[in-house]
């Protein structure tokens, strides 16, 4: 892995939190992701399933974690199964986890080879009454491919039909949403790498550059700072492309007078950052561009202040809608008639700001985290308002990542990344 090894104390804490919420005499199983084929012998780069990583730190394919806090044999209360390595694998694929290295990385002392899984697991299942399966229940999930986890669940529900079944996801949604200090530090590192990329781009952008050239500048800076690259597919949208919320082509030339919306950020150690900045191609905001930009910035700053413990996510978004409505009125994009004719289901501001303001971020860009219960300290949220005006060929979004504090205003992990009009213009024209 490119990143520095994470102290296994983090994963020990995470496992302890999960096991504290398990039912008596139950075990939980977590699988790594598959390596997904493209065609012929080509495959996508491996990405570890974030749940097994969160609980173990094991960042390798063909890995299974079993948690059984009431196991009769104390050594079976935490077990990691890893693929057996050998000299042939070392030559063709490189270093894999040995049993000793697996313990060092995870803090788990009982390590078995994967080939022993069925034998060991059958013995464990004779002791337990309930098995926790790890289904994907994220509110944005859209799974069309059968995952390794899904195959496991299908197989072992048939093998052990008499056992009771429970779900890991509700526990994970709760505990993964509140970050440990070590996790916040890793996210801060991701944000710092992102800052380096953005500052590089500010010095690079000028009329005539292509969106994909900006993408190349960013990935260069990310990878040279121990990131695998982008935390999510990069959006580099010049001119009217910015009004396509998930624009991914990145293949247009940037014209003098255009703005560029860049929703691009680095990952580090599987933790995401999520940044959006919108800058003028020629390094100078027009009067209208500045007006709209500063309206978005005011909404972002005020929305950030609302992210405090006990806030309800749904109410937060309503308040953000009010902030945006006020700014759109000031810009002349809405008028009193628009406000009078709006409904709760279709508020007027949605014409120019059609997405939400915030989401959890962490091991996933759209991370796990409770959304129907009050916010808690050490949850990490994006704040990303935008105004999209197709008739003016302009879309402006600004986004930072902030940590809810026990008292007071959230801590901005991206506080050092330029955002003010004057600073952006100064850096672009240095």
Q: Could you report the per-residue pLDDT of 192-205, keeping only the tens digit for each?
A: 999 999 999 999 99
Residue 280: inside a domain, yes or no? yes
Residue from 299, 301, 293, 228 nearest 265 by CA: 228
Does residue 129 register a pLDDT over 80? yes
Does residue 343 register a pLDDT over 80? yes
State residue 144's pLDDT score: 82
103 lies in the same domain as 204: no
Tally of domains within the chain: 2
Task: Identify the CATH number of the domain in which residue 187 sits.
Answer: 3.90.230.10
Say which residue the tokens 């337990």 belong to: 128
Looking at 153, 177, 201, the residue that finishes a domain is 177
Q: Residue 166 class from Cβ within 10 Å (0-12 exposed, 13-18 middle, 19+ buried)?
A: middle
State residue 29's pLDDT score: 98
Beta carbons of 113 and 89 less than 8 angstroms apart: no
Does residue 92 register a pLDDT over 80? no
155 lies in the same domain as 299: no
88 lies in the same domain as 231: no
* Backbone torsions φ then ψ of 76, nearest 5 degrees: -100, 15
Residue from 320, 317, 422, 293 nearest 371 by CA: 317
State residue 143's pLDDT score: 79
Residues 78, 56: Cα–Cα separation, whole Å: 10
Q: What is the pLDDT of residues 261-316, one digit of tens each?
A: 999 999 999 999 999 999 999 999 999 999 999 999 999 999 999 999 999 999 99
Task: Show the beta-strand stretches assigned E in 129-172.
Answer: 130-133, 164-167
State residue 140's pLDDT score: 84
218 lies in the same domain as 133: no
Q: Residue 125 class from Cβ within 10 Å (0-12 exposed, 13-18 middle, 19+ buried)?
A: middle
Beta carbons of 66 and 27 less than 8 angstroms apart: yes
129 lies in the same domain as 237: no
**In the chain, count of helices (H) and strands (E)?**
13, 18
Residues 249, 378: Cα–Cα separation, whole Å: 35
* Backbone torsions φ then ψ of 36, nearest 5 degrees: -90, 130
Does residue 86 register a pLDDT over 80? no
51 lies in the same domain as 188: no
- Residue 109, classed as helix, strand or coil, is coil
400 lies in the same domain as 287: yes
* Backbone torsions φ then ψ of 342, nearest 5 degrees: -75, 160
State residue 400's pLDDT score: 98
300 lies in the same domain as 402: yes
């Amino acid at each position: 892995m490119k990143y520095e090894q994470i102290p296994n104390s983090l994963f020990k804490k995470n496992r302890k939190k999960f096991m504290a919420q398990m039912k008596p005499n139950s075990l939980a199983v977590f699988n790594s992701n598959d390596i997904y084929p493209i065609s012929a012998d080509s495959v996508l780069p491996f990405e570890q399933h974030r749940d097994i990583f969160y609980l173990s730190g094991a960042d390798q394919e063909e890995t299974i974690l079993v948690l059984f806090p009431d196991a009769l044999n104390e050594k079976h209360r935490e077990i990691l199964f890893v693929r057996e390595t050998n000299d042939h694998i070392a030559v063709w694929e490189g270093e894999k986890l040995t049993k000793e290295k697996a313990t060092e990385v995870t803090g788990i002392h009982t390590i078995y080879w994967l080939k022993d899984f069925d034998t060991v697991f059958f013995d464990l299942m004779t002791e337990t009454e309930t098995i926790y399966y790890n289904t994907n229940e994220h509110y944005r999930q859209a799974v069309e491919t059968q995952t390794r986890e899904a195959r496991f669940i299908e197989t072992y529900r048939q093998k052990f039909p008499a056992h009771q079944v429970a779900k890991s996801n509700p526990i994970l949604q709760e505990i993964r949403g509140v970050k440990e200090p070590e996790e916040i530090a890793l996210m801060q590192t991701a944000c710092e790498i992102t800052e380096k990329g953005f500052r590089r781009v500010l010095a690079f952008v000028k009329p005539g550059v292509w969106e994909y050239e900006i993408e190349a500048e960013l990935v260069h800076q990310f990878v040279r700072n121990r990131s695998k690259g982008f935390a999510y597919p990069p959006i580099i949208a010049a001119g009217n492309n910015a009004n396509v919320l998930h624009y991914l082509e990145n293949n247009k030339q940037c014209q003098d007078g255009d703005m560029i919306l860049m929703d691009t950020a680095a990952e580090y150690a599987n933790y995401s950052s999520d940044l959006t900045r919108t800058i003028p191609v020629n390094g100078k905001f027009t009067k209208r561009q500045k007006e709209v930009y500063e309206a978005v910035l005011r909404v972002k700053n005020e929305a950030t202040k609302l992210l405090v413990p006990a806030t309800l996510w749904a109410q937060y978004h309503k308040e953000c809608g009010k902030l945006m409505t006020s700014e759109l009125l000031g810009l002349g994009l809405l008028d009193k008639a628009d406000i009078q004719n709006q409904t709760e289901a279709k508020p007027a501001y949605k014409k120019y700001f059609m997405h939400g303001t915030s989401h959890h971020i962490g091991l996933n860009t759209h991370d796990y985290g409770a959304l129907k219960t009050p916010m808690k300290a050490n949850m990490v949220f994006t704040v990303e308002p935008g105004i999209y005006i197709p008739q003016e060929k302009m879309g402006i979004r600004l986004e930072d990542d902030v940590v809810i504090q026990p008292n007071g205003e959230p801590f901005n992990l991206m506080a050092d990344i330029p955002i003010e009009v004057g600073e952006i213009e100064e850096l672009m024209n240095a």
